Amino acid sequence: MAVSGPPGSGKTTYARRLAEELGLEYYSAGMIFRMVARERGVSIEELNRIASEDPSIDLEIDSRTLEIGCRGGVVLEGHLVAWVLGSVADVRIYVTAPLDVRIRRIAARENRPLDEVYRETVAREYMHWRRFLDYYGIDVNNLQIFNLVLDTEPLSVDEAYNVIKTYTCRLLARKGFKIEACSR
């Protein structure tokens, strides 16, 4: 199962909750990135700098993401994981919200100024879009690969999660999976 979306959309919240309630393992692309940084003996900031100049870093993270996804029984979360997992993921969910809403969420969560978060988030999203287009020829603004696309802005966290869980359970049932938590 893959949960993707831009920063501040709620993807981590929903992916963790799905994994916990459905009895699946949780992984994030960020966890994998931090693992690679530790293995290389560099900071996360340093690995980000290296990755901006060396495509092999992203390719290694994507390869590890695909390896974990192929095991099954996992919820993987990250900006780009659904494209990396492609048809391997039984469910592909994209959560989003308008940019101004996401900026406010990130600023509140990290206790940072809105203008700083805005500049960083816009640059980060552009960098992700550009790298994925350059490396794989995939436009992450094209959401056709997703089973569910959900704007989380008008919903509470619980309301959005209930939509995601209900949809996920129904889709998994149609695919023949029997998950006890979906029966409740």
Q: What is the dihedral of CA 165, 171, 176, 182, to 10 degrees?
A: 20
Is residue 12 part of an annotated ligand binding site? yes
37: Cβ contacts below 8 Å, ≥ 6 apart: 43, 44, 46, 47
Is residue 11 part of an annotated ligand binding site? yes
Is residue 13 part of an annotated ligand binding site? yes
Is residue 7 part of an annotated ligand binding site? yes
Is residue 9 part of an annotated ligand binding site? yes
- The identity of residue 39, as a single letter, is E
Is residue 10 part of an annotated ligand binding site? yes
Q: Which of 80, 91, 124, 114 has the alpha carbon at shortest distance from 18?
A: 91
Is residue 98 part of an annotated ligand binding site? no
132: Cβ contacts below 8 Å, ≥ 6 apart: 80, 83, 138, 139, 140
For tokens 């969910």, what's the residue? 93
Binding residues: 5-13
Binding residues for ATP: 5-13
